[in-house]
Amino acid sequence: MAPTTGETQITTARGIEVVVRQWAPASPAAAEGDILWFHSMAGLAHTEETLDALGQRFRVHAPLWPGYSELENEGSVEDMLDFALLGWDIADTLGLDHPHVVGHSMGAMVAAEMACLARRDLSRLVLVAPYGLWLDSHPIPDIFAVLPFQLAELLLADPANAAKLLTPGQDMGTDEGLAQFMVQNARRLGTAGKVLFPIPNRRLSKRLYRLSAPTRLVLGEADALITAPYGEAWQAAVPHADLVTLAGAGHLSNLDQPAALAEAVAAFLGA
């Protein structure tokens, strides 16, 4: 049965306004718990098949980071601590008690930081294609150094899936559509750059010893950014974490393999 969906706007204790997209089972009694989902540097697609699937079993709360909605709130976060505290402030404002926390890409980096700061305040943790570690032997490609039209090949196993990120009706073939995309992309990368530029290393590795929540890592087999050596490095840093690799998925597995990603997350959270 399709989940119910909605969108709400909240104001955190610090006064930051945040848009939160939400999914829930059609029967509230059927919900298996709350998921706090932090999106990637690409934001949320208009239609998120992964969250549609998870919403059939869980209450899913997916806040949009500053710079990723119509709200002019980019100045509210400046560094990793700001992002992590905002994440917990969102949970508090939503009234979530020990939610499952799932982060994707940049969002996974923040989710891991949150789990280190407040190690007893979450139930389970899933890190999908997580930024946060840096290996000199395997430098992560610089997403800020490529042109917008090159991002699809860097982020996706199937670049055609990039169309899912466009606003319905947005036509990249028109001047208006292209301008809209360029402004949107600049705002998003401006926010992402606060934790990913010039290299995505905010010394998270020094704090991972505090990460005690049950943890699952999910990597895309065709991810050009967070490659297999990073999966190994994460498992070395978080020995209790297990690792799932998704065939046919790039960095944005929610677009390449949404059903497989949903299953990898749900199987772990529902265990």
pLDDT digits (tens, 9 = 90+) for 127-171: 999 999 999 999 999 999 988 778 899 999 999 998 887 655 555
Per-residue pLDDT at 168: 54
d(CA 136, CA 73): 34
d(CA 177, CA 189): 18
Q: Where are the beta strands (DSSP E) in 44-164?
A: 59-63, 100-104, 125-128
Candidate from 75-84, 94-103, 179-188, 200-209 with smallest mean pLDDT = 179-188
Exposed, middle or buried by CB within 10 Å (0-12, 13-18, 19+), for 118?
A: middle
- Which residues is 38 bridged to in the sheet? 103
Candidate from 72-76, 111-115, 249-253 with smallest mean pLDDT = 72-76
Per-residue pLDDT at 265: 98
> Contact 74/67 with Cβ under 8 angstroms?
yes
d(CA 265, CA 126): 7
Alpha helices in 95-200 (DSSP H): 106-117, 151-155, 175-196
Residue in 209, 2, 4 with CA at minimum distance from that of residue 116: 209
pLDDT digits (tens, 9 = 90+) for 46-100: 899 999 999 999 999 999 999 999 998 988 999 999 999 999 999 999 999 999 9
> Contact 32/24 with Cβ under 8 angstroms?
no
Q: In terms of DSSP bridges, do strands 4-11 and 17-24 run parallel, antiparallel, or are they unpaired? A: antiparallel
Per-residue pLDDT at 30: 86
Q: Is 9 helix (H, G, I), strand (E, B) or coil?
A: strand
Confidence of residue 175 (pLDDT cuts 50, 70, 90): low
Exposed, middle or buried by CB within 10 Å (0-12, 13-18, 19+), for 185?
A: middle
Q: Does domain 4-269 have CATH number 3.40.50.1820?
A: yes
Q: Taking the domains of the chain in order of start, what are their residue ranges?
A: 4-269
Q: How high does pLDDT run on average in the chain?
A: 92
